[in-house]
Amino acid sequence: MSATNATDSDNPKMFFKLALQVYTSFLLIIGLPGNVISGYIMATDQANRITTRILMVIIAAADTAVLLTGVTRYWSNVVLGFDFRIHSDLMCKIHVFGFAFFTDFAVGSLCAVAVERFLVVAFPHHANTFTSIKSVCFGMAAFAVVLSIKNGIHLFMMGLLEITRVAGETFHVCKTMDKYHKFMEVFKKIDFISFAVIPYIILFSCNLYIYCKLKRQRRLLRTTMNQRQLKMNKSALLANSTSPATYTDAENPESLIVDKNSELMPNSAIDGQVKTPSECVSTRHERRKRKPEDVIKVLTALTAVHVVCTLPGTIVTLLSDYKHLSVPVQIKQFLVIFIFTNNAINFFAYLASSERFRKKFASILCCDSRRHRR
C-alpha cells in the first residue's frame, strides 16, 4: 500500500518535471531566434523614428539576456539536473545579480518605449527635443546605473550555503545568507513594486493617454476635412457663377486642400516634426513612409503580452506575501517560468500588430528561399 501511495505521489512530480523540460526548451527555441529577428527588423525599419528603433533593439537584447540567464538555469536544472550557480560563490553572486538586472532592464525598456510614444503624442512640437538620440541614450544609461546600484546588493547578500540533510548528505545551494534574511524580505517588497506595480502604472497611463489623444485627433481631423470640403464646394459654385477676371486665389479650391504634412494629419502630429514650409518639403518623403500608428499598435501588443504573462505571478505574490496564502512550490515555479514567456514571444506580438513587420519578415523568408534554390 505504501509503495502504491509513493508511486501515485511521484506521478504528478514526474509530469510537472516533464512539462518544465518541454516548456523551458520551447521558450529557448522560439525566444532566442525570435528576439534576434525582431531586433534586426526593428533596427532596419527606416519608417520609425531612430529613437524608437534604438529602444526596440534594446528590448530585443534585454529579452535575450533574460532568456540566457533565467530560462537556461531552469532548463539546466530540469533537463541536466545541474544548477551552474553552485559552481562557485562568485558564480552564484554574478548570476543572481545579472538575472535581476536584465529582468528589470527588459521591463524598463518596454516602459521607455511607452514614455517615448507618450512624449511624441503629448508634445508633438517638442518631440525632437524630448526624444532625441542623446536624451534616449543618456536616459537608458542612467537607468542601467540605477538598476546596477539597486541589484548590486545581491553581490553581498547572496552566496553558496552548505546544507546537511537528515541522512548526513551535504549539498550546496545559492541563496540569501542568514544574516541578511530580514533585509531581503524588505528588498523583495521594493523589488516587487519596481518590477510590477510601477511598470503597470506607466504602461496603462501612457497607453490610455495615447489612445484618447489619437481618438480626439481623428475626430478633429474628420471635422476639419468636412468643413474644408464644404468651403471647396462653395468656392467651386462661386467660380462657376463669376467671370475668370474676378476669380481670386483665395477662392482657389487647390489652396484649400489639406496638406498631407500639416499638423492636422495624424502622422505628422504624432511624429512631432516642426511644421515649417521648408521642413515640410524636405521631410515629405520620410513622412509618407512613416506610420506612427503602426508603432502604437506594436506598443499595445507588447503591453498586452507583458500584462498577460506577469499578472498571474503578481497576483499570487500579493496573496502569498500580504494575505499569507500558502502556494505550492510547483505553482510558484510555473508562474516564474510563465513570466519568462513575456521575453520569448514578443516576435509574435510584432507579427500580429505590425503590417510592416510582417512584410519585412516575409521578404527575409523569400530571400532565404531564393538563396537555397540557387
pTM tops 0.85: no
Evaluate if residue 142 carries a pLDDT over 80: yes
The fold for domain 30-220+263-373 equals Rhopdopsin 7-helix transmembrane proteins (1.20.1070)
Identify which of 206, 49, 214 has the alpha carbon closest to the alpha carbon of residue 135: 49
pLDDT: which is higher, 263 or 2: 2
350, 301 contact by CB (below 8 A): yes
Give the three cell numbers for residue 66. 533574460
Q: How far is CA 267 from CA 260, 290, 293, 322, 352, in A?
A: 9, 7, 8, 46, 21
Position 70 scores a pLDDT of 92
Reported as a pLDDT band with limits 50, 70 and 90, residue 166 is: low
Give the tens place of pLDDT for each residue, 295-354: 888 999 999 999 999 999 888 888 876 666 777 878 888 888 999 999 999 999 999 998
Write down the pLDDT at residue 269: 42
Torsion of CA 163, 165, 166, 168, to 10 degrees: -90
Cα 250 to chain centroid distance, Å, stands at 49
SS3 breakdown of the chain: % helix, strand, coil, rounded to 5? 80, 5, 15
Quote the pLDDT of residue 240.
67
pLDDT in tens, 245-287: 444 444 444 443 444 443 334 444 444 444 444 444 444 444 4
* 243 phi/psi in degrees, rounded to 5: -80, 160
What the block records as the C-alpha cell of 85 is 550557480
Supply the pLDDT for residue 116: 92
- pLDDT one-digit tens code per residue, 87-134: 888 999 999 999 999 999 999 999 999 999 999 888 888 878 888 899
Mean pLDDT of 2-24: 72
174 φ, ψ (degrees, to nearest 5):
-100, 110
β strands within the chain, DSSP E: 158-164, 170-176
Quote the CA–CA distance of 134 and 15 in Å, as a whole number.
51
CA distances from 286 to 160, 274, 280 (A): 56, 14, 10
Residue 237, classed as helix, strand or coil, is helix
Q: What is the dihedral of CA 41, 55, 263, 204, to 10 degrees?
A: 110
How far is the C-alpha of 163 from the C-alpha of 177, rounded, in Å? 12
Closest CA to 174 of 100, 105, 107: 100
Question: Would you say how long the chain is, in residues?
Answer: 374
Q: Which residue has the cell 520609425?
A: 48
d(CA 260, CA 217): 15
